[in-house]
Structure 1
Amino acid sequence: METRFPPRIFSRPRRMAGLRRALVRQSQRDAARYIMDDMVEDVLERLEFMRLSPTRVLVIGDWTGTLALSLRGNGAKVEETDVRQLDEEAPLPSGSYDLIVSLASLERVNDLPGALLHLRAALARDGILIASLIGAGSLPNLRRAMIAAEPDRPAPRMHPLVDNAAASALLQRALFRRQVVDSRTLEVAFSSLDRLVSDLRDQGLTSNLSTQAPPLSRTALERARTAFLEGAGKQGRVTEAFEILTLTGWKD
């Protein structure tokens, strides 16, 4: 029988290299971290709303350490993954956690159904998974600028991302008893394309496609910069959108 493997869309070595560079950039005073800060705040608000006080927690992807610190302050025993060695496609200890939180991590996994199955298996009975990821509605101005940069034959430079309907189907496929998927939009204003790219690098969110596109030529880069600023408002700033999907699943 032929064994089918998931397509290799993403390069894990490139992703790890980008995260290591981001951790170095975070030592700078003005380094951007608003994506992770927003996700951490949202998870804490959800736990408070659900009146959930987990005792054993696994936190994946939070390179700020803020979420684990807050949960430990509430009495939880928290394990954290080293973001420099993330491998969401590897199995975890079975039935070990009553809460698993994954932040800005699952959107760049080749075998996303398999990763969700591993996370479900690692939950204790009645355990909960909360996974926040960057959704398909993100960065429309950047996408438009990349197409304008190479109008005849654009190279693949941006990730395919999961939308709300696909996320719900994935949770069902992973056999979670109940599933909730919701989205929100985080808007950030940028004075230039270069500022946006710098922010993405600060947060380890640049491309880690398995096929690396060649650098943009100087002419193509100028076209991209011009196209990006076509979306600017009266103050000369472009409001870019980050769609944040939050997947919540309960294990029976």
Structure 2
Amino acid sequence: MQPPEIFDPAARRSRRDRAAPGYAAHAFLRETMLDGIAERLDSVTRAFTDVLDLGCFDGAFVPPPGARVARTDAGFGFAKAAGGVQADEDHLPFADASFDLVVSAGVLDQVNDLPGALTLARRVLRPDGLFLAAFAGAGSLAALREALRTAEGDRPAPRLHPQIDVRAAGDLLVRAGFALPVADVETVRVRYGGVDRLLDDLRGMAASNLLRERRALRRDTLAVAAAAFAAKADSDGRTTERFEIVYLTGWAPAPDQPKPARRGSGTTSLAATLGRFPKT
């Protein structure tokens, strides 16, 4: 059974190509994700030799010392600039067991077949290989969502992507066959001087509307949304927007791995909230 096509792959590729030249000015969210992935990677004592950077953007991910890295991106511009290959996350051109580490930051929330993409990531890993990923999850863009709801009333057009919460993300890791799965979430808050700056960031990070059923935002609707967004501003005239970063950790199964604790026997704590990023 084919998964539903929520996103428009052609639009996704073209938006990524459009964003590539100026991406560095809007890369703060992925930089935060890469920092979180690096922290998790630092706690792993084993060495890695072959790494896949899945959804590489500008190739900013730095592999562990001595490791070879292959990079892929759905956009031709990003893939070419990073010395990688163009490929969608749910259609990987690699043989099974090609890597001992797969890293993905900022793309899995835009994939039509996310269960399939996670399964492929597990398959290209060698036994006891590590998967580390991060993406914007449920609760992100709450201020923009509320502003658009105010502007469009009871019948809002499809403008913001469906979002995956941390519990569902953990279940997807299990479904994909990962061992010792962990899903946790961190919050990034960004203060914007207006909704136009937020929309500019979303376009610049290739995270604008990619839905198949999208409709153009009319000027009068945008004006109402901008006023609703501004109405939530603080005394400095800035409105705080929230990004919830979901982190995933999983291991390709191997015979000598420790067994997970009995379901329900442990506790999960949220990571400390990340600092604010001022925007002008």
| TM-score, with structure 2 as normaliser | 0.83
Q: How far off its partner does 1:24 sit? A: 2.2
CA-to-aligned-CA distance 1:116-141 (integer Å, 9 cap, x gap): 11111100010011111110110100
Instruction: Tell me if structure 2 keeps the 8 A contact 1:36–1:64.
Output: no
Q: How far off its partner does 1:90 sit? A: 1.1
- Give the aligned partner of residue 79 of structure 1: 70
Give the Cα separation in 2 of the matches to 1:11 and 1:52.
39
Q: How far off its partner does 1:53 sit? A: 2.9
Which residue of the other structure, out of 144, 169, 179, is the alignment partner of 1:142?
Answer: 144
- Report SS of the residue matched to 1:66: coil
CA-to-aligned-CA distance 1:196-231 (integer Å, 9 cap, x gap): 000111111111101121x22222111100111122
Give the Cα separation in 1 of the matches to 2:224 and 2:46.
50
Q: What residue identity is the alignment partner of 2:224?
A: R
Q: What residue identity is the alignment partner of 1:87?
A: D
Give the Cα separation in 1 of the matches to 2:59 and 2:145.
31
2:56 aligned with 1:54, yes or no? no
- Report SS of the residue matched to 2:138: coil
Q: Percent identity?
A: 41
Counting helix residues as a fraction of each chain, which structure ranks higher?
1
- Give the aligned partner of residue 222 of structure 1: 223
2:197 aligned with 1:195, yes or no? yes
- Give the aligned partner of residue 125 of structure 2: 123
CA-to-aligned-CA distance 1:46-88 (integer Å, 9 cap, x gap): 1112234311100012313121xx326x111111114413311
CA-to-aligned-CA distance 1:83-109 (integer Å, 9 cap, x gap): 413311114310111000011111111
Which residue of the other structure, out of 77, 94, 105, is the alignment partner of 2:107?
Answer: 105
Q: What residue identity is the alignment partner of 1:108?
A: Q
Q: What residue identity is the alignment partner of 1:17?
A: S
Count of residue pairs the alignment pairs up = 242
Q: How far off its partner does 1:40 sit? A: 1.4
Q: How far off its partner does 1:36 sit? A: 1.3
Instruction: Tell me if structure 2 keeps the 8 A contact 1:59–1:102.
Output: yes
Instruction: Tell me if structure 2 keeps the 8 A contact 1:135–1:245.
Output: yes
- Report SS of the residue matched to 1:210: coil
Structure showing greater relative contact order (alpha-carbon pairs closer than 8 Å, 6 or more residues apart): 1
Change (3 A) 1:89 1:136: same
Q: What residue identity is the alignment partner of 1:45?
A: E
Give the Cα separation in 1 of the matches to 2:249 and 2:236.
39
Q: How far off its partner does 1:245 sit? A: 0.4
Which residue of the other structure, out of 54, 65, 89, is the alignment partner of 2:59?
Answer: 65
Give the Cα separation in 2 of the matches to 1:42 and 1:184.
9
CA-to-aligned-CA distance 1:136-165 (integer Å, 9 cap, x gap): 110100000111111142110010011011
Q: What residue identity is the alignment partner of 2:35?
A: E
Gaps of 5+ in 2: 76-85, 254-280
Q: What residue identity is the alignment partner of 1:62?
A: C
Give the Cα separation in 2 of the matches to 1:14 and 1:115.
19
